[in-house]
Structure 1
Amino acid sequence: MIWIIMIAMMLASWLVSWRLKSKFQQYSQIPLSSGLTGREVAEMMLRDNGITDVRVISVAGKLTDHYNPADKTVNLSEYVYEARSAAAAAVAAHECGHAVQHATAYNFLKFRSAMVPALSIASRYMQWILLIGILMLQSTPIPLAIGVALFALTTLFSFVTLPVEFDASRRALAWIDRRGIVTTQEHGMAKDALKWAAMTYVVAALGSLATLLYYASLLMGRRD
Structure 2
Amino acid sequence: MAGAYLIGILVMAVSMYVQWRLKRKFEEYSQVGLSVGLSGKEIAEKMLRQSGIYDVRVLSVEGRLTDHYNPQDKTVNLSPDVYHGRSVSAAAVAAHECGHAVQHATAYTWLRFRSQMVPFLTISSRYMQWVILGGILLLNSTPIPLAIGVALFAATTIFSFVTLPVEYDASNRALAWIQNNGIVTQQEHGMAKDALKWAARTYLVAAIGSLATLLYYVSILMGRRD
1:1-224 matches, within 5 Å, as: 1-224=3-226
How far residue 38 of structure 1 moved from its aligned partner, in angstroms, is 0.3
Shift of 1:185: 0.4
Misfit runs of 4+, over 2 Å: none
SS of alignment partner, residue 50 of structure 1: coil
Q: Distance in 2 between matches of 1:30 and 1:156?
A: 37
TM-score scaled to structure 1, two decimals?
1.00
Shift of 1:122: 1.2
In percent, how many aligned pairs have the same letter?
73
Please tell me the residue identity of whatever aligns with 2:118: V
SS of residue matched to 1:60: coil
Displacement after TM superposition at 1:43 (Å): 0.2
Stretches of structure 2 that go unaligned for 5 or more consecutive residues are none
What letter matches 2:177 in structure 1? Answer: W
Other structure's SS at 1:30 match: coil
Question: What SS does the corresponding residue of 1:172 show, helix, strand or coil?
Answer: helix
Specify the code of the residue in structure 1 equivalent to 2:140: Q
Give 1:204 deviation, angstroms: 0.2
> Counterpart amino acid of 2:225?
R
In 2, Cα distance between equivalents of 1:39 and 1:95: 11
Q: CA–CA distance in 1 between the matches of 2:30 and 2:6? A: 36
Q: Which runs of 5+ in 1 are unaligned?
A: none
Q: Secondary structure at the match of 2:183?
A: coil
In 2: Cα distance, 1:70 partner to 1:124 partner: 21
For each residue in 1:67-115, what CA deviation from the matched residue of structure 2 results, as whole angstroms up to 9, or x when unmatched?
0000000000010000001110000000000000000000000000000
